[in-house]
Structure formats: C-alpha cells, structure tokens
Amino acid sequence: MITDISLAKQIAGKLVERNSVFEEFFTQRAHELALACQEMAQRFLSGGRLLAIGRGPSASDAQHVSVEFVHPVIVGKRALPALDLSMLPRPWLEAILTPDDIVMGFGPPEGDDEIWAMLEWAHWRGALTFALPGPSGSFSMQSAIRHPFIHQELVEVLYHTMWETVHVFLEHREFGQDVGQSEFLYPFLGRSRQETSTIVDDVAASIQMKARDDAQLRSRLAAEESDRICAAALEIGARLERGGKLILFGNGGSATDANDWALDCVMPPPGFRTVRAISLSMEPAILTALANDVGTEVIFLRQLIAHARPDDIAIGISTSGGSRNIIMALEEARKRGLMTVALLGNDGGEIARRGIADFPIIVRSDYIPRIQEVQASAYHVLLEVIEGVGHAGA
C-alpha cells in the first residue's frame, strides 16, 4: 500500500477537526432541537407527513431523510410517512401539502432562496418547517460553517438525530407508550413513566451524547484508516488522470450517500474541480427493472457491466459489509481490472473477510446512522485529497 505520511496526517487532521464543530453545534442547539422533534412527533400522530426538498447536491439529503423515516433501520420501529419532492418541489408542495405536514428544506451553506421561499409558503399554510440552513423556520440552522462538505455532514448528523428523537417521543409514555427499544439509544430514559416536565431536558442531554459518540467514532477512523484513505486517494487520482471515473453504489441510506458523492463530483462547490463520476443508485427505473426482472442481487452488477472501463474505480458503500448486490458488483469489477474501494461498517463483513476491495475503509460501529455519518466524512475528505483541494476548515 503506497501512502504519503504527511498527507495521511493531514487526512487524520481533516477528520478530527469536524468533531469540535459538530459538538459545539449540538451543545448550543440540543434543547431547541428536542422541542422541535417533540412537535414533529405530535404532527405524525395527527396524520402529518415529512416532505423533504432540496436542489442540486442537496437533493441527496432530501432522499436520505425520506429513506430514514419510511424505512427505519431498527427492528420494531414504525414506518413514518415521508416523501422526497425534490424533482418538482413547488408544484408538488402546492398539490399535496396539508397543515399537519412537516417540510424540511436543504441547501448549501449560503442557503437557497428558492427553497426558503417554499418553506415560507409552507409555514404560511400551517406546516412545521425546518430550514437546513435558513434564516427562519420552526427550526432553522444558522451556523458559521462555510465549508460545503462539513456543512453537509452536520446536516446529516442533524436529521439522523431528529429521526432517533422523534421515535423516542412517539414511544414515550407521554404519548401513552413505553420507551421500549429506544432505551439503548437514550439511556437517560428508562422504561418507567417519565415526567413530561423533564423529558425534553433528558432528550437534549442525550442528543449531546450522540454528538460525542459520533466524535469518538470519527477520531477512531482518523487513527486507524488515514493511511488507507491516503493510499486510496493517490491511486484514484492516478486512474482519474488516465481517464477513469468513479462508479458508486449502495443501498438505502448508502444509496443516497453514493448519489451525494457523485453529485459532489459532477456539480462541485466553488473552488473544487469536476470529477468524472456516476452513481448506480441514482435511477429508480433501472433499479426496479433489474430487481423485478432478474433480482435485487444484480442491480449494480448489470449496470457495472454496461458502464465499466479499465481505468475506472468501483466504490461500494455498505454499513454491514455483507450486502450481496455490493459484493457481486465488486467481484465483477475485480474481474474487469477496476480498482475497488469499499466504505464499510461493523468489522467490514464479508467484503473485508474475502478481500474483494483493494481499499476497505471501515467505520467500526454496529449502529447504522453513526456509521453513515462518519462514512460521509471519509468520502468527503477522500474527495478533497483526490482533487488536491487543501482547505477543509469550517
């Protein structure tokens, strides 16, 4: 594994520097966020839906938050109604919005005037609104972060935390049920009945704890995987110089991360170069056609056969390391002489054990939201190094 010691140290520094930014945000906003999530839970109980909107690269966040609420990753959690309306946000909102709905708008650090206008209209219609970022809303994110990738990572941590917290309120005895399986997420909350006067404070404290857990995991990645990230970046850069492209793929929330990575490449923020990239998770018509006609195991394999060229880089994203469709695509990429990279969780799973990724980058956790948050930091830093952009500060 060819690496550069000084560059690897820079990568570790880029990863760790995010921690203080995120911890400061959640320390300052935890109580306000807990109250907003309490209102979200009430809206869901009243029949409301989460409607997510974003433009350009921010559309991947609208995709991701919708997946999290509709398809909860913890067994026993209820599916909550959520829709990504980013393809046609204003007409869709005007057609289906009800006063009980929740509208979440995403944008770059400087914000998006069109998204803000839609949020303002939705608020006027009675909806609960989240501006991420924005100057106003039922909850508005106004931070000093100007780096686009660090901003996006903070937003991802934020909506994962919202998902966790909404479920705590939904299952809490305040709404007539036990905390149940959410207890391990929020140890301040037991199974016994909680006083409603203290629950918001307890949840706010737990939100801050989640940010600390996230920081510890990112610090571990920096200590254990910086050399591998560096080596992967150097080899990817060489292949891109020879005309190669990134071929990205993942399932569920990891599909939206693959889409985000591809969008960051082809529609880069100011100061970043364009990188050739495609996401095999991007097109639902192709995915559903292959899944229906052949099977879910080949949804990436068949696309990779169509698109792969010798100098390309196949990058699979999997929190388990055991997704069969990821494994089959990486195996095919190997046969065709592509470089293979895998962003993995847990212990790396079957992908790591079988050695089918030239560069397995492992976030050693078994909790999917935290894995995805730290994987986002990993691929953003990797992209910065690939492009030779040396400014990762907030």
Can you count the helices (H) and strands (E) in the chain?
A: 12, 10
In contact, 330 and 342? CB cutoff 8 Å: yes
Does residue 388 or residue 246 have the better pLDDT? 246
Digit-coded pLDDT (tens) for 287-331: 999 999 999 999 999 999 999 999 999 999 999 999 999 999 999
The tokens for 378 are: 């990993």
Question: Domain locations in the chain?
Answer: 5-213, 242-363
* Nearest-angstrom CA–CA distance, 326 and 301: 8
Burial of 293 (0-12, 13-18, 19+ CB in 10 A): exposed
| DSSP state at residue 176 | T
> Rounded distance, CA 363 to CA 347, Å?
8
Burial of 237 (0-12, 13-18, 19+ CB in 10 A): middle
For 31-41, b where at least 16 C-beta lie within 10 A, e where not — what string?
bebbebbbebb
Short-list 250, 231, 230, CA closest to 314: 250
Q: Please, are residues 369 and 167 in contact by the beta-carbon 8 Å criterion?
A: no
Per-residue pLDDT for 14 more than 60? yes
Residue 190: per-residue pLDDT: 42
- The pLDDT-based confidence of 8 (bands split at 50, 70, 90) is very high
125-177 pLDDT per residue, tens = 999 999 999 999 999 998 778 999 999 999 999 999 999 999 999 987 444 44
What pLDDT, on a 0 to 100 scale, did the predictor assign at position 102? 98
Tally the residues of the chain: 394
Q: Give helix 253-266 / helix 368-387 axis angle, nearest 10°.
A: 20
* Confidence grade of residue 3 (pLDDT, cut at 50, 70, 90): low
Q: Do domains 5-213 and 242-363 have the same CATH topology?
A: yes
- Domain 242-363: give its CATH architecture: 3-Layer(aba) Sandwich (3.40)
Confirm if 230 and 386 have CB atoms less than 8 A apart.
Answer: no
Q: What predicted TM-score, i.e. pTM, was given to this entire model?
A: 0.91
Specify the CATH number of the domain 5-213: 3.40.50.10490
pLDDT at 87 over 70: yes
Cis? peptide before 135, omega within 30° of 0: no
Q: What is the mean pLDDT of the chain?
A: 91
